A = this chain, B = another copy of it.
């Protein structure tokens, strides 16, 4: 499997080359401070007025590590919360090569044509390692990048998956308050990030391609069962028959799966993001499912569960960090781990000794 970092397409894209954009919404500015210091009130008013420049700077505050920025971001989010929640949130995943960027561009432009306003966010845990963002890919979203009714933002860089996920989820709040009625959260589909994305969206869309052999080796187990819909891209030219065959295989595979919590069976559709065929049908399918989710109550239920999930997740992560990053613990952690691996102690008694030490030190 080709890892994104080793993929030439993702290399050297941390500076903006090519597209002529207003410099202030340069998507690669996440590491810099906002140009101008607005007050919390100015930020909130700007966001609610749909000012993308101010929205972008507020997201930069969310992503900043500076405590004063975080404090300001926190206040802005709290003030925006009452205006948030009224969008449809899509999660979009698929292995590299499935054509995610082209698909997002195709779905996105069609949604805008239908009168929607779209924000595209991403969760890319690999950025932690590469210190670059996978949505360098963004340069390929040529139409969306310059579309005033769209807001495209690369994945926050650095930090734990939990941290990145928190930033993205908080950015959703601001985007919704700014009037975006559709949010795409993209993820690369090979790591741990799918659960995080799945836990912040209303519809989880898996993009596949025909010839489901080696291409799939990179995708994480469990993703298929997590999906609310599966779409086969590149159903064009000579590839149409293979795409239809793949769709049929996925359809019969899905029959073996238990019914999702939503109570609605996932559908499988073919399309071509390149040829722009079948794109409106994918959107219609998602819309129809969202309607069904709203009718049977699973939409509200899912959002409620997600909120509680994130609160608990955030607590758990903090408790773990406190334990594992306490300087006194490091040596003892290594020692107990060795004792477990050499069968001198059970995992449970090693844990007990570590906890005794933790609570008493």
Are B253 and A350 within 8 A (Cβ)? no
Are B224 and A256 within 8 A (Cβ)? yes
**B contact residues around A99 at 8 Å (CB):** none
The listed residue (B84, B225, B347) touching A314 by CB distance below 8 A is B347
Interface string of A140-170 (1 = CB under 8 A from B): 0000000000000000000000000010011
A225-B225, A308-B340 given as contacts; is B170 within 8 A of A348 (CB)? yes
Q: How far is the CA of A134 from the CA of B343 in the complex (A)?
A: 31
Which residues A309-359 have CB closer than 8 A to chain B? 309-316, 318-320, 322-323, 336-337, 340-341, 343-352, 354-355, 359
Q: How far is the CA of A320 from the CA of B323 in the complex (A)?
A: 11
**A115 at interface (Cβ–Cβ under 8 A)?**
no
Chain B residue at minimum C-beta to C-beta distance from A306: B347
A253-B256, A307-B341, A323-B319 given as contacts; is B349 within 8 A of A74 (CB)? yes
The smallest beta-carbon distance between A170 and chain B, in angstroms, is: 6
Chain B residue at minimum C-beta to C-beta distance from A303: B341
**B contact residues around A311 at 8 Å (CB):** 336-337, 340, 347-348, 350-351, 354
**B contact residues around A336 at 8 Å (CB):** 311
The smallest beta-carbon distance between A152 and chain B, in angstroms, is: 23
Q: How far is the CA of A82 from the CA of B323 in the complex (A)?
A: 29
**B contact residues around A173 at 8 Å (CB):** 346
The smallest beta-carbon distance between A40 and chain B, in angstroms, is: 14
Which of A319, A320, A322, A336 has the largest number of chain B CB atoms within 10 A? A319
**B contact residues around A33 at 8 Å (CB):** none
A225-B222, A319-B319, A349-B78 given as contacts; is B314 within 8 A of A337 (CB)? no
Of A10-18, A51-59, A212-220, which binds chain B?
A: A212-220
Chain B residue at minimum C-beta to C-beta distance from A83: B343
Are B77 and A346 within 8 A (Cβ)? yes
Q: How far is the CA of A23 from the CA of B216 in the complex (A)?
A: 54
Of A106-114, A125-133, A257-265, A289-297, which binds chain B?
A: A257-265
A252-B252, A355-B315 given as contacts; is B84 within 8 A of A343 (CB)? yes
**B contact residues around A315 at 8 Å (CB):** 320, 323, 351, 354-355
Chain B residue at minimum C-beta to C-beta distance from A208: B256
The smallest beta-carbon distance between A316 and chain B, in angstroms, is: 6
Q: How far is the CA of A318 from the CA of B359 in the complex (A)?
A: 11
A81-B345, A252-B253, A336-B311 given as contacts; is B258 within 8 A of A217 (CB)? yes
Q: How far is the CA of A78 from the CA of B28 in the complex (A)?
A: 55
Q: How far is the CA of A219 from the CA of B225 in the complex (A)?
A: 12
The smallest beta-carbon distance between A232 and chain B, in angstroms, is: 11
**B contact residues around A204 at 8 Å (CB):** none
Interface string of A70-95 (1 = CB under 8 A from B): 00001001100110110000000000
Which 10 A-B residue pairings sit nearest by Cβ, starting from the closest?
A310-B347, A314-B351, A253-B253, A311-B347, A319-B319, A221-B225, A315-B351, A222-B222, A307-B340, A311-B351
Given contacts A249-B253, A314-B352, A315-B355, 18 further A-B contacts (CB under 8 A): A74-B349, A77-B346, A78-B345, A85-B343, A169-B347, A212-B255, A216-B256, A217-B259, A221-B225, A221-B257, A304-B341, A307-B341, A307-B347, A310-B347, A311-B336, A311-B347, A314-B348, A314-B351
